[in-house]
Amino acid sequence: MRGMVTQADTGLPFMKMHGLGNDFVVVDARARAVAITPALARALADRHRGVGFDQLAVMTTGKGDVHLTFWNADGSPSAACGNATRCIARHVMNETGADHLHLTTARGDLFARDAGGGLTAVNMGQPQLLWDEIPLAEAMDTLHLPIEGDPVATGMGNPHCTFFVPDAEVIPLETFGPRYEHHPLYPERTNVQVAQIVGPDHIRMRVWERGAGVTLASGSSSCAVAVAAARRGLTGRRVRIDLDGGTLHVDWAEDGVWMTGPTAHVFSGVLTPAFLAGL
């Protein structure tokens, strides 16, 4: 019989994964119900007193192969997390032997496939381009926001604000990111990217993630940047994106935005009853 994880349990198993250094704690709750609270998410995210992650992902059963729920490091929920989706897709493919998967999230139905060479591709769905879908605070042209730097707004199940800059390396993300994460035009806060066009199919990008801060990579941010660049006419719809943690390939296709890259399952562990009891 399934039961909720409580302080009296013998511990809570988890997996540590990453995609290009964008790291996750993954809890498999398909066979054992798990109660995730904001306090538990924050405690797990602490890199000194917990495990450490950019996002927490929980696997449950659903109408597809697996349902995914995401939490940010600050304990807030997130509807989408592209790199975590790819990591979990690879885990389930290894587990089942399948080379195609149907995943469900708050973002909607997502589809994954084995891209060969150890790479995993996930279709992150169609981008949200209208102001009220992203969402923004009021009606406006999402291709040219009335913010200094002329950024682009894009939704990928979570909101994004993309600045195209001459040199992504020199932007001080630690101060630049939070300034725009909390901009009043974004009522649900936003992920912030600085993107440098290297060529017609090549972008250098760095990212500040809402609720997490500077991260080595972000899948949904990479998709948003690719869409924004194509909409601006700066690139084609298939691009290579170089992030601090490595390279992703993004293809804005007719059926959605496909993101392809490597994944890693680093280790598995168990949270102790004493750790859980302290929350």
pLDDT tens over the chain, length 279 residues: 344 445 446 799 999 999 999 999 999 999 988 989 999 999 999 999 999 999 999 999 989 999 999 999 999 998 889 999 999 999 999 999 999 999 999 888 999 999 999 999 999 999 999 999 999 999 999 999 999 999 999 999 999 999 999 999 999 999 999 999 999 999 999 999 999 999 999 999 999 999 999 999 999 999 999 999 999 999 999 999 999 999 999 999 999 999 999 999 999 999 999 999 888
- 8 Å CB contact between 228 and 144: no
Amino acid at site 152: V
Residue 183 CA to residue 186 CA, distance in Å, equals 6
Q: Give the model's pLDDT for residue 9.
A: 62
Amino acid at site 64: G
Residue 17 tokens, joined: 């994964």
Q: Give the model's pLDDT for residue 226.
A: 98
Radius of gyration from C-alpha coordinates of the chain: 18
Q: Give the model's pLDDT for residue 278.
A: 83
Q: Give the model's pLDDT for residue 79.
A: 87
- Residues contacting 135, CB < 8 A, separation 6+: 155, 159, 187, 188
- 8 Å CB contact between 137 and 184: yes
- Residues contacting 94, CB < 8 A, separation 6+: none
Q: What phi, psi does 238 have (nearest 5°)? A: -120, 120
- 8 Å CB contact between 145 and 161: yes
Residue 204 tokens, joined: 């250098």
Residue 113's Cβ-side half-sphere holds a number of Cα atoms within 13 Å equal to: 5
Domains of the chain as residue ranges with CATH: 12-124+263-277 (3.10.310.10), 152-254 (3.10.310.10)
Instruction: Look at residues 84, 108, 112 and name the one whose alpha carbon lies nearest to residue 98.
Output: 112
